[in-house]
Structure 1
Amino acid sequence: MKFKSILVSVMLLCLFSTAALAQVMEVGVNAGASGYMGDLNPKDPFDFSGAAFGAFVKGNLDPYWAIGIHYNHGKIKDNDATSSNPDFRSRNLNFSTPLNELSLQVDFNFFDYFAGGGTKRFSPFIFAGIGGVLFNPRATYQGQEYELKYYKTEGKDYRNYALSIPYGAGVKYRISDHWALLSQIGYRTVHTDYLDDVGDKYPLVSAYGRIDAEHPLYINLSNPSQLPHNWNPGGQRGDYRKNDTYFFLHIGISYTFTSDKCFTF
């Protein structure tokens, strides 16, 4: 809780400071798709697996620079059973998790552009920032869903929130003095390897899912493989990278509250 309180306090302070300095404030919404790279998808940076949406408030400091607070929600998932890799299929892990992200981001426009005016109606841009993300990986086995964090599938605890570093690029198009369209793709390097509940080794003692009348079979959540030779206590369960990545592809619209004072050059 302390991490989340500090992160929100810093972002609100930055936003209020920006509002005092900015000549043009901008609000917007976006929607699109989300995906992830990690232990179940180590290679494909365009493997979108769920829907996403978000909102933002920005202060445009001048035609080139803007700073703002962004909220994004998405869902990511993957399943070894559908992998083209036979080793992954035999491992037989799966997960899904919602993502709730709050971040502070800085935009840089390459052209003389801002939604309230400017000499250009169009500009490519890049962005980077810092944020935090909440997640809660779940797995489905034999029709029953399990919240994996509570089963310690690798014999250890991990937090369900982490620091994230957003970065990406996009394009903006001004359709009037107040309204603009945008499209962007952004990646997040996240300071955890457990978005997918997979990050280290098989535990020495396996974690079994709860049993009830409708699901009488034991479910080994640590190692759900049906192949006996896959039983490997202490062996590597995921890849060796220490950070997962998630990403958003967004299309959005924004409205700019222009002031009477124009930018000076």
Structure 2
Amino acid sequence: MRRIFTLFLLLTATLAANAQTWELGGLIGGSGYMGDLNSRNPLQVSGGAIGIFARKNYSPYVSARLSYTFGWIQAADSTSSYPDIRNRNLSFLTTLHEVSARAEVNFLEYRPGIFKNSFTPYIFLGLGGVYYTPTAKAADGLRYDLRSGRTEGETKPYSKIALSIPYGIGFKYNFLGKLSLTADATYHYTNTDYLDDVSGTYANPASFTNATAASLADRRIVKDPLDPTGTQRGDLRPHDSYMFFSISISYTWISDRCYFVNNSRR
């Protein structure tokens, strides 16, 4: 992942050096997730997010953005209002490294760096990949990698990389010449059900050779039945999703050959 991040920095630096209508910026915000430990609240924020991005403005209504975002999500059954969920007693913390590209459509004419105090709401859709690492604290107080523990009896560990489809809405505001603020809510549909390391049913306790993995696989407070093999552990939905709620600031590079300038001289 470090190589991907370095490549992204080199790419954005190259784009900035040859920029005509490019924006380069950074973002900060909160993150959340929908999955087996949070299946009801799509607005619940459980972690944070930071990132960088480069945006190309093709016209006053269409732009494209390439971004790298680091975030983390977490949840715990102990906070649930449902007794059966609290008894399951699972918890996790997952770090996310996402690289994505998206197309943005502005509802209003938007010319950053040309018209001061311009603004527009917008929508977007994209494609990306996310590298994720679920962990949890065991009884000894130490945090362990859940993927390597194969807590649901997987024949091999699930992939660390998942496909991500980001989509959402936002608001752009060019408040000081070439500086712009953006606020958006981005939901990410994925092709994995293991962002929280929970998916299907309980594994056979006898199949674990590692005591820590066995304890993290079945953390029920009241173990009834004593052998839960094959009984429901997750919510049986096929995919997890995550979201970023962020505010970003960006700087726009504009040259004399830029279409914004040409259009403004009509």
TM-score range relative to shorter protein: 0.7 to 0.9
The one-letter code matched in structure 2 to 1:51 is G
Aligned partner (choices 231, 238, 244) of residue 242 of structure 1: 238
Structure 2 unaligned residues grouped into runs of 5+: none
User: What TM-score do the two structures reach when normalised by structure 1?
Assistant: 0.86
The one-letter code matched in structure 2 to 1:146 is Y
In the aligned structure 1, how far is the partner of 2:201 from the partner of 2:111? 50
1:113 aligns with 2:120: no
Output the aligned Cα RMSD: 2.8
Report the identity percentage.
41
1:95 aligns with 2:67: no
1:42 aligns with 2:13: no
In the aligned structure 2, how far is the partner of 1:24 from the partner of 1:126? 20
1:138 aligns with 2:135: yes
In the aligned structure 1, how far is the partner of 2:28 from the partner of 2:253? 22
In the aligned structure 2, how far is the partner of 1:26 from the partner of 1:228? 55
* Equivalent pair of 1:64/1:111 in contact (CA under 8 Å): yes
| 2:218 alignment counterpart | 223
| 2:169 alignment counterpart | 169
1:228 Cα offset (Å): 2.1
Q: How many residues align?
A: 252
| 1:215 alignment counterpart | none
Structure 1 unaligned residues grouped into runs of 5+: 212-217
In the aligned structure 1, how far is the partner of 2:70 from the partner of 2:136? 20
The one-letter code matched in structure 2 to 1:258 is I
In the aligned structure 1, how far is the partner of 2:32 from the partner of 2:76? 13
Aligned partner (choices 34, 54, 57) of residue 60 of structure 1: 57
Q: Which residues in structure 2 correspond to 1:144-223 (within 5 Å)?
A: 144-156=142-154, 157-205=157-205, 207=208, 210=211, 220-223=215-218
* Equivalent pair of 2:61/2:109 in contact (CA under 8 Å): yes
In the aligned structure 2, how far is the partner of 1:130 from the partner of 1:74? 17
- CA displacement, residues 48-90 of structure 1 (integer Å, 9 cap, x when unaligned): 1111111100111011111121111111000011111211100
- CA displacement, residues 134-159 of structure 1 (integer Å, 9 cap, x when unaligned): 11101112212111111111111201
In the aligned structure 1, how far is the partner of 2:230 from the partner of 2:211? 23
**SS of residue matched to 1:128:** strand
In the aligned structure 2, how far is the partner of 1:186 from the partner of 1:208? 40
* Equivalent pair of 2:190/2:241 in contact (CA under 8 Å): yes
User: What TM-score do the two structures reach when normalised by structure 2?
Assistant: 0.86
**SS of residue matched to 2:46:** strand
The one-letter code matched in structure 2 to 1:90 is N
**SS of residue matched to 1:220:** helix
1:22 Cα offset (Å): 7.8
1:188 Cα offset (Å): 0.2
- Cα distance 1:229–1:151, how it changes in 2: closer, same or farther (>3 A)? same
1:26 Cα offset (Å): 0.5
